[in-house]
Amino acid sequence: MADVESTPGEGIHIEGLRKRYGRGETAVDALKGADIAVAAGEVVGLVGPSGSGKSTLLKCLGAVTEPSGGRMTLGGRVIYDEGWRIPDLRALRRDRIGFVFQAPHLIPFLNVTDNVALLPMLAGHANADARARARELLEALDVGHRAQAMPSQLSGGEQQRVAIARALVSRPPVILADEPTAPLDSERALGVIGILNRMAREYRTAVIVVTHDEKIIPTFERIYHIRDGRTHEELGEGRMST
Ligand SMILES: Nc1ncnc2c1ncn2[C@@H]1O[C@H](COP(=O)(O)OP(=O)(O)OP(=O)(O)O)[C@@H](O)[C@H]1O
């Protein structure tokens, strides 16, 4: 949408991504060469022990922290390339990256539709268009009947679906989900992963799920393990049924 143009539907790719915090003797190399390729429509897992660099990688992927080196392309557009970066990372975050967190973080004084429509409205889209797009997504996520409700009137699972609608509203080429199922029981956790798989396919979005959750790890076809700042790809059990 808005300021950042790209070819939609080409996923996210990083090569040799590095991140050093600080300098001199106290410098920490949190990422030493991370490689990830997620195609449009694909959902992958990202797992790793504490301190391995997961949060740093997620922040770089989400254009929250700039890497020290390496390359990233998103939706067919180069974002970072060995010290160079696109000028407007804020517009990129707003328009081209969807975030889903452990807690839904809905705005309590806006109804469900406006929670989903808020970002495109702030980005300058007509309110009616943004709300129509929000309602379409809420329908697709089976919460269309709650479109006028306030967040506090929704169940936890409904709130998480609204948060997924909000992440998709700008049709981002990538969604970054940080422990999206941690507080949920098995059935609800698998429900959320099922929805992310369905939405990835329908909206041609690449989805990266950072997780420790043993309930959902068997659902991934591919998993990136991060250890000591480097990624290793493994085939998962991929027992997804959506
Ligand atoms: N702002 C920072 N300044 C200096 N070092 C940092 C900073 N942020 C993270 N680190 C270091 O970088 C390394 C990777 O940290 P990161 O937070 O990415 O790990 P993580 O895998 O997300 O861990 P956890 O699962 O415990 O959150 C760690 O050694 C950490 O101490």
* ipTM of the shown complex: 0.95
Enumerate residues 6+ apart whose C-beta is below 8 A from 86.
Answer: 4, 77, 78, 79, 80, 92
Quick check: helix, strand or coil at residue 62? Answer: coil
CATH of the domain at 35: 3.40.50.300
Per-chain mean pLDDT for the chain: 90
Nearest Cα residue to atom 31 of ligand 1: 51
Residue 17 in domain: no
Nearest Cα residue to atom 17 of ligand 1: 55
Residue 1 in domain: no
- Residue at 197: amino acid letter: N
Q: What is the pLDDT of residues 67-107, one digit of tens each?
A: 999 999 999 899 999 989 999 999 999 889 999 988 899 99
| Ligand 1 centroid from CA 56, angstroms | 6
Q: Is 231 in the pocket of ligand 1 (CB under 6 A)?
A: no
Nearest Cα residue to atom 25 of ligand 1: 50
Residue 120 in domain: yes
Residue 227 in domain: yes
CA–CA separation, 148 vs 140, rounded Å? 16
* Domain with 223 in it: 29-235
CA–CA separation, 70 vs 55, rounded Å? 17
CA–CA separation, 41 vs 141, rounded Å? 17
Residue 240 is predicted with a pLDDT of 52
Nearest Cα residue to atom 16 of ligand 1: 53
Residue 52 in domain: yes
- Residue at 185: amino acid letter: D
Ligand 1 atom showing the smallest separation from residue 212 Cα: 25
Residue 16 in domain: no
Buried b (16+ CB within 10 A) or exposed e, 45-67: bbbbeeebbbbbbbbbbbbebeb
Domain count, the chain: 1
Residue 15 in domain: no
Residue 131 in domain: yes
**pTM: predicted TM-score of the whole model, two decimal places:** 0.90
Q: What is the pLDDT of residues 19-40, one digit of tens each?
A: 999 999 999 999 999 999 999 9
Enumerate residues 6+ apart whose C-beta is below 8 A from 218.
Answer: 236, 237, 238, 239
In DSSP terms, which residues pair with 207 in a beta bridge? 43, 175
